[in-house]
Amino acid sequence: MTGYNGDVTDLDAAFAEAEGHAEENADGVGLAHAKGTHVAAVAIWPREEGEPTQGVITVSRAGRPFGEDDHELLRTLASRASLALANVDMHDDVARQAVTDDLTGLASHGLFRARLDDEMRQAARYHHPVAIAMFDIDNFKAFNDTYGHQQGDLVLRRVAEVLSETCREADLAARYGGEEMALILPHTDLDGAHELAERARLAIERLSVPRLDGQGSLSVTTSAGVAAGDHGRGDSLVAAADTALYAAKRAGKNRTVRAGDPGADAIARELAAATERPNGE
């Protein structure tokens, strides 16, 4: 972005000359002169060596040329500007990390929870359904144990890519934790969620993830559980989808189970019974 304060009419060439010298000179300062006006520019250096300069600060005045004291003042201004820009970049990085999972590029768990709470409030107010689809990579521990954690990370990234591509514009794909990922599906009932989750599961099943040792590729499957509702807490919806996911695992993996299906209901009853047992039984 370029901005000027004051009348710089007919000084474009002098400004360009001084700014060019500033980016070329080792001390970061460039000078020029035109029509009785002296121009000085100082480069704002990047945070990392080898990156282009972040910009220039250019000043001009009539009559008296810029001396070494002026150059030092300009370098001080450039240093402060560079620090300010670095702080802005750092703030952006922190904000981005707070809402994005570094490994997969999906939404973070924190953003998932915040978005789900908001969607549940909207659902309760306007009486439209919200669905959750939970995905877990089958036998993921074996990828890490057999081929190493870098291979496991690649599997996670490839599965995340499929989920991102499957999502509609209003949906949110998130890394829920470990090898578990989730989709928030606004305005989607249970059947619609099952259809979308199945589409994603089948696309993942078609994946061919290259082995990092160059010895062929790996196949990946996922189990999925879906739930939907138009009221209540987001935690309850997640729990219902997670129970359905557990049912999919128990039924043989690589499948999608709806909350309320017989297998999911049976597991829900088991979990409820286990919670009600006194300690020690």
Q: Which residues contact 246 (CB under 8 A, 6 or more apart)?
A: 225, 264, 267
Cα separation, 227 vs 242, whole angstroms: 9
Pairing between β-strand 222-229 and β-strand 130-137 as defined by DSSP bridges: antiparallel
Largest CA distance in the chain: 95
b/e for 10-46, b at 16 or more Cβ within 10 A? ebeebbebbbebbbeeeebbbbbebeeebbbbbbbbe
Structure tokens at 252: 């043989």
Cα separation, 25 vs 33, whole angstroms: 17
What's the residue count for the chain? 281
Structure tokens at 3: 């901005």
> Choosing from 17, 19, 119, 179, which is the catalytic residue?
179
Q: Annotated catalytic, 72?
A: no
Contact 130, 228 (CB under 8 A): yes
Q: CA-CA-CA-CA torsion for 175, 177, 178, 181, nearest 10 degrees?
A: -40
Cα separation, 91 vs 94, whole angstroms: 5
Q: Catalytic amino acids?
A: 179
